[in-house]
Structure 1
Amino acid sequence: MVSIRILFFCLLIFSIASCISGKKLVNLQDNEADIINSGKEVGKTFKLKDTEYHLRSGDRIMVRIFSLTQEKFNFFGAPEIELKLDKQGRVELPVLGYIQVGGLTIRETEEKLKELSIDYLKSPTISIKLTNFSFTILGEVNQQGTYTATEAKVNLLEALGRAGGLTDFADRANIRIIRHENETAKIFKLNVLEDNVLLSDQYFLQPNDIVMVDPLKAKNVRQNQMSTISVIVSVAASISLILFQILK
C-alpha cells in the first residue's frame, strides 16, 4: 500500500513539473503593436524589410536566354547556362567576357545582362534563378536536415515548416541563425513567440544559413524525472514483493 502511494505521488509530481505553458508553444503572439480593425476581423500589418537577395562570391546561377536571333547566330549557344560567381563576384559569358554581378539582386543582374547582350541578340529576355539556395535546420524540429529552395526568398517560418515544424520542447524564444560571410560567422537570435519577429532583418534566410533550435529546460527536467521515476518504480516493486513475501 505504501509503495502504491509513493508511485502515485511521483507520477503526480511528474505531471505537474513537466507541463509546458501554452505561451511557450504559440508562435507570433500579439505584442500589442498597431492593430487594424476591419468589420469583425482583427488583423495586423507589418512592413517587411527589403528582402531581395544580393548575389555574392560562390553563388551559382542558372541563366536562361531567350531572343529572336536565330540559334546558329546566338553566341550564348545553349539556352541555359549555369554560372558561378568567382571571388571577385564576377561571371564569365561568351563574347561578353567577365561581368561584375556581385552585390546585385537577381532582378538587377537580369537587367544588366540584357543591356549588355542587346547589341548581339534581337529582343533578348534574360531569366536568372539562384541554384545554390540551401539551408540546414537542426535541433527541436520534427525533420532535421538540409533543404534546397527553388526561390531566392525563404523566411524563417517557411524554413521551419519544411522541417516539419517545431516540437513541443522547442525554445521558440531563442532560435539561432548561423550565417557565414566570407571568412566570418555571425549568430543571430530570433524569438518566434512574438509577432514582431516579422520585422527582423534576419527573418528572411540567406543561402547556407544554419538554423539551430534549442530545447526548453522542461525537456531535460522531464528526461531526468523519467529516469528518477523508473528507479522509484523499480524500488517500489521490489519493496512490494519483499513485503508480500513477508506478510503472506
Structure 2
Amino acid sequence: MKKVVLLILSLASLMSCATKKQILYFQDAETMDQAAIQETFEPIIEPNDILHISISSIDNEVVKPFERVTGLENNVGNSNPGLQGYLVDAEGMIRFPVLGDVSVAGKTRGEVQTILKEKLSEYIKDVVVDVRIMNFKITVLGQVNNPGVYAVKDERITLPEAIGLAGDFTLDGNRNEVVIIRENDGKRIVGRVDFTQTDFFNSRFYFLKQNDVVYVEPSLKGVKKSGFLPDIPALLSLVTVVLSTVIILTR
C-alpha cells in the first residue's frame, strides 16, 4: 500500500509542474541573429492626447504672446509648472495662442514641430519648437509581479520592456498568450503575442502606443491553483493509473 501512496504523490507532483517549453522566453532566438533592428518608431498623436509644446528664441520678449500655461500638467502627474499642456480635441485640433486651431492628430511629434515652426516663423525668425506627449502611459495587468499604470517619459517602449517594467511574469503567467488592447482610429484592436517565440519582434505590437493595455493571462496551472478549474482529464488519468497499479500489486 505504501508503494501505491508514493506512486500517487509522484504523479501528482509531476502534473503540477510546468514544462520547460511553457517557461522559457524566445525559444527560437537563434533565428534573430543579425536581424535588422527597427529604429524609426515614432508615436502618432491622437485625440485626447495632452501635448507639452515649448517655443524659444534668442529674444524672449517676442515669444511671450505665444506662451500659455493651461494647468493640465497637474492632471498628468507632472509637477513642473513651466510645462504647457495642450489638449488634442475630438477633431484632432489644438488651440494655440495667436495661431488659433492647429491640426495635429495623425501626425508625429516631428511633423507637428515642423508645422508649428513654419507658422511661427512668420512672427519669430529664430524660433525653436519642442513637442512632447505628456500623457504617454501604458497599463500592465494580470500575471506580472507589479501590475499598474506606467508613465513613459521618452515615448518609446517595447512590449518586453513593459513586461520588465512590471517586474516580469509570475510563475503562473501564460507566456504563450499575452494580450495587447489598443485603441486606434476610434476602434479597439486586440492582439495576442507568444513570448516563447520571437516573431512578434516584427509585429505592430512590439512597440507599444500610448494608452495600450497589456494583459498577461494565467496559465492553466494558475487557473487550477485558483480553484476555478479542476483538471478533470488529469484526475481521470491519475485514477486510471492508480487503479491499474493496485490491481497489479494485489495479484
Task: Please say whether Structure 1 and Structure 2 have the same fold, judged by a TM-score greater than 0.5.
Answer: yes
Cα distance in structure 2, aligned partners of 1:105 and 1:72: 27
Structure 1 residue 14 displacement after superposition = 2.5
Structure 1 residue 50 displacement after superposition = 5.0
Q: Deviations over 1:98-140 (max 9, x none)?
A: 1111111011111111111112123111111111111111111
Cα distance in structure 2, aligned partners of 1:221 and 1:101: 49
Give runs of aligned pairs for residues 72-111 of structure 1, distance below 5 A: 74-77=64-67, 80-111=83-114
Structure 1 residue 149 displacement after superposition = 0.9
Q: Do 1:28 and 1:197's aligned partners in 2 also have CA atoms closer than 8 Å?
A: no
Q: Do 1:69 and 1:122's aligned partners in 2 also have CA atoms closer than 8 Å?
A: no
**Residue in 2 aligned with 1:24?**
22
Cα distance in structure 1, aligned partners of 2:62 and 2:42: 36
Give runs of aligned pairs for residues 176-215 of structure 1, distance below 5 A: 176-181=179-184, 183-215=186-218
Structure 1: which 4+ aligned runs deviate by more than 6 Å?
none
Cα distance in structure 2, aligned partners of 1:130 and 1:29: 35
Structure 1 residue 72 displacement after superposition = 6.1
Cα distance in structure 2, aligned partners of 1:94 and 1:223: 56
Q: Do 1:49 and 1:201's aligned partners in 2 also have CA atoms closer than 8 Å?
A: no
> Aligned with 1:107: secondary structure?
helix
Q: Which amino acid aligns with 2:59?
A: T
TM-score (normalizing by structure 2): 0.77
What is the percentage of aligned positions where both structures have the same residue? 27
> What is the number of residues matched between the two proteins?
216
Cα distance in structure 1, aligned partners of 2:67 and 2:200: 46
Cα distance in structure 2, aligned partners of 1:188 and 1:64: 36
Range 149-158 or range 21-30, more displaced: 21-30
**Residue in 1 aligned with 2:56?**
66
> Aligned with 1:75: secondary structure?
helix
**Residue in 2 aligned with 1:233?**
none
**Cα root mean square deviation, aligned:** 2.4
Is the alpha carbon distance of 1:149 and 1:73 closer, same or farther for their aligned partners in structure 2, counting shifts above 3 Å? closer
Cα distance in structure 2, aligned partners of 1:107 and 1:161: 28
Query: Where does the alignment leave 5 or more consecutive residues of structure 1 unmatched?
Result: 36-43, 229-248
Query: Where does the alignment leave 5 or more consecutive residues of structure 2 unmatched?
Result: 69-81, 232-251
> Aligned with 1:33: secondary structure?
helix
Structure 1 residue 90 displacement after superposition = 0.9
Give runs of aligned pairs for residues 1-248 of structure 1, distance below 5 A: 8-30=6-28, 33=31, 35=33, 44-48=34-38, 50-71=40-61, 74-77=64-67, 80-181=83-184, 183-222=186-225
TM-score (normalizing by structure 1): 0.78
Larger Rg computed on CA atoms: 1
Q: Do 1:65 and 1:80's aligned partners in 2 also have CA atoms closer than 8 Å?
A: no
